[in-house]
Chain A
Amino acid sequence: MNLPEMPEMPVDAWGWVVLVSLLIGGCFVFVGSFGLLRLNNTMARMHAPSKATTVGVGGVLIASIFYFYGVVDEPYRVFPAQDLLIVFFLFLTAPVSAHFMAKAYLHKHSPQESDLPQPHNGSGWATFKSRA
């Protein structure tokens, strides 16, 4: 394989778009991690990383799409199908894992059940009614 060198980042509109979206994504990943450290209980902490998975990763992916579709030339240029699939899989899996973490939290802190608002029709929450 004898590929030409990757080009330098050009100082034009594309370069700025890549730069700004990388910065925005980086800021939100940082705020997400910082929130994980700063917030004081498990459920509040779960809110922080959801920023990293949405706008954080989104910014990095937008930068990647513009870089590999707009900035670089032929041997490196790719159609951004895989970047879009990352968003798709992330949006599919992040809520499921958050849901299971919340359910695990409810199991570990079951005395809290009395603090939870109960469904108005009295059927109870599925986590505490484990039967078919």
Chain B
Amino acid sequence: MTSKPEHHEHGHGHGQTPRVERSLLRKWFPHPILSLVLIGQWLGLNNSLAPGHIVVAVLLAGFIPIYTANFWPNRPKLRAPITFLVFAVVFLWDIVVANLQVAYLVLFHSPAKLKSQWLCVPLDLCQPEAVAMLAGTVSLTPGTISSDLSADGRYLLVHCLHVDDPAAEVQKIKDRYERRLKAIFP
């Protein structure tokens, strides 16, 4: 899918750093993006840019990733920020459309005639973070709920409220969400 050559650098642009230095950096800053998100959340919760809040935010952003690193040992590889924006727009649009569809089903469709069904979606995604995002996307779009993952993590069990063509629904999930997530999480 991606024609770009694969290069395994995490895009920090430090060039060649000695191996010891890098692992030390990795030890004290296991998840830089998580740290940034934590700073943003703390400042957002307090809704303030006062120096005291910034100090606490930086402390939290420093310690929480270190303490939780054992639960999240590998850093996800991220690519294609533009695709992420496209994904977000498609996701929000689909939420609105699916809301209207499910509202119609709830209000004007006889509950006994709903063709509820389980779907088995085969996954091409390899990174666990990507699978989690796909499952969350499927659940937040009304009408579909991700219910289980296969024991080897290669299939997602999805419950559909009303589906006429199961194969087309599976293909829609793969085309609209999984293809873009595959580009973001190579």
Contacts and interface: CB of A to CB of B under 8 A. Distances in A.
A46 interface: yes
Contacts of B41: 85, 88
A50 B142 contact: yes
A70 interface: no
B121 to A, nearest CB: 10
A126 B150 contact: yes
B54 interface: no
Contacts of A50: 102, 139-140, 142, 145
Contacts of B142: 47, 50-51, 54
Interface residues of A, number: 49
Is the contact region of chain A dominated by helix, strand, or loop, or is it mixed?
helix
Interface in A24-68: 28, 31, 34-35, 38-41, 43-44, 46-48, 50-51, 53-55
Contacts of B89: none
A81 B44 contact: yes
B148 A47 contact: no
Contact of B151 (A78, A79, A81, A126): A126
Interface of A: 28, 31, 34-35, 38-41, 43-44, 46-48, 50-51, 53-55, 78-79, 81-82, 84-85, 88, 91-92, 94-96, 98-99, 102-103, 105-106, 115-121, 123-127, 129
11 contacts: A34-B107, A38-B111, A43-B116, A50-B142, A54-B99, A94-B139, A95-B139, A99-B148, A117-B119, A125-B148, A126-B150
